[in-house]
Homo-oligomer: A and B are copies of this chain.
Amino acid sequence: MAQSKIPVGILGATGMVGQQYITLLNDHPWFEVRYAAASPRSAGKKYAEAVKGRWQLTKTYAPHVGDLMVEDANDVSRAVAAFKKGECSFVFSALEMSKDETKALEEQYAAAGIPVISNASAHRWTEDVPVLIAEINADHTDIIPLQKKARGWDRGFIAVKPNCSIQSYMKPIHALAQAGYEAKRMFVNTMQAVSGAGYPGVPSLDMIDNIVPYIGGEEEKSEKEPLKIFGCIDGGIFKNAEFPLISAHCNRVPVIDGHTACVSLEFAGKKPSSMDEIKKIWAAYKGLPQEAGLPFAPKQPIIYREEDNRPQPRKDRDTDKAMAVTIGRLRPCNIFDIRFVALSHNTVRGAAGGGILNAELLKHKGYL
């Protein structure tokens, strides 16, 4: 069976997002982890050895992954050799280096013929790199042939996913935009889980009987990345959308997984006739992942809960393989048009799971 699956590699395989990729791919119908690379500190060890005492997840890795020899992620030639042996058709990048180092290294992989599906933020503002949320801008993959051509790359390319903080509110506003109700301005207040900061990450002295009303760089990402995702390809590069204008405030709260966002939204033009109309739009919302039946696609990307005290991270984050967005508390806003609360699992939908869905989309489109 293994032979018929596409062999994939994980860069940064021992880190927290790397661990998520590996467990989520345990039984994937299309992909199989056959290559693991990490920092020089882990290189040369078996994967099981490299993560011993550092494993953060409840689920564990598949036995065959435990036996993989970890390679040095800085050494692209190792991945090329694995590619030639049929052990690494493309890589998921969960690198935890500086932005500049990540940017350069991911380009080296792509130049060497290894497509890179990245979780890192390094290439999100590279003009010809798509930032994909599979339900929203599947057509942004159209830039890949242009990217390859411009870079002189043959088989390799780079595609990335956006920041975990925006996952919960992008699909609901996209659903409304598709129905003719464009968002003009938004206030977003996030309460984000500690897993977003990796391990060791946030000290417990900051998260017991406390919250921290600041996450470095997070507000900027939450405000700007949506504009690229809602943008379009123009002359071989992405042109940002002008709207919605977003004002974000990002907080760290004592939650393991699951980012919650309180949203107030103003429509640009036409407004929905009622809260019920909005709920119907959300319930009916589907994208290419649903239509194509991609393995990691949630059946229903947006779940609305009628209870007045939901969504809650611990209770709702795992909905539909932790890939669905859960929304609640839709109500009129005193200042803008509507208010609601949205929740998304930050290390699954917002990280490794979102990356896998992007890879499925790219495979479906014929790029992998």
Contact = CB atoms under 8 A, between A and B. Distances in A.
For A52, A53, A251, A313, the residue with the greatest tally of chain B CB atoms inside 10 Å of its CB is A251
B200 A308 contact: no
A339 interface: yes
Contacts of A329: 213-214
Contacts of A191: 191, 211, 251, 253
Contacts of A318: 58-59
B201 A334 contact: no
Interface string A329-350: 1000111100101000000000
A255 B214 contact: no
A205 interface: yes
Given A200-B203, A249-B339, A315 B210 contact: yes
Contacts of A290: none
A150 interface: no
Chain A contact residues, majority secondary structure:
loop
B213 A262 contact: yes
Interface residues of A, number: 63
A251 B311 CA distance: 11
B52 A307 contact: yes
For A216, A245, A314, the residue with the greatest tally of chain B CB atoms inside 10 Å of its CB is A314
Contact of A204 (B206, B310, B341): B206
Interface in A188-229: 189, 191, 194-195, 199-214, 216, 223
Contacts of A317: 58
Contacts of A309: 53, 212-214
Contact of A213 (B204, B216, B245, B311): B311
Nearest to A184: B335
Nearest to A315: B58
Interface string A51-69: 0110111110000000000
A213 B251 contact: no
A119 interface: no
Given A203-B204, A309-B214, A251 B262 contact: yes
B335 A245 contact: yes
Contact of A246 (B310, B334, B339): B334
A236 interface: no
A299 to B, nearest CB: 14
Contacts of A256: 205, 208-209, 314
Contacts of A211: 191, 253, 255, 260, 312-313
A254 B254 contact: yes
Nearest to A262: B249
Nearest to A53: B307
A264 B186 CA distance: 12
B341 A209 contact: no
A181 interface: no
A328 interface: yes
Given A200-B203, A204-B208, A210-B312, 5 more contacts: A52-B307, A187-B264, A191-B251, A206-B312, A213-B328
Nearest first, the 6 A-B pairs at minimum CB distance are A200-B203, A189-B189, A204-B207, A210-B314, A247-B334, A209-B209
25 contacts: A52-B307, A58-B318, A59-B318, A185-B335, A187-B187, A187-B247, A194-B205, A199-B203, A200-B205, A201-B204, A202-B203, A207-B208, A208-B256, A208-B314, A209-B255, A209-B313, A209-B314, A212-B309, A212-B312, A213-B260, A213-B311, A213-B312, A246-B334, A249-B339, A253-B253
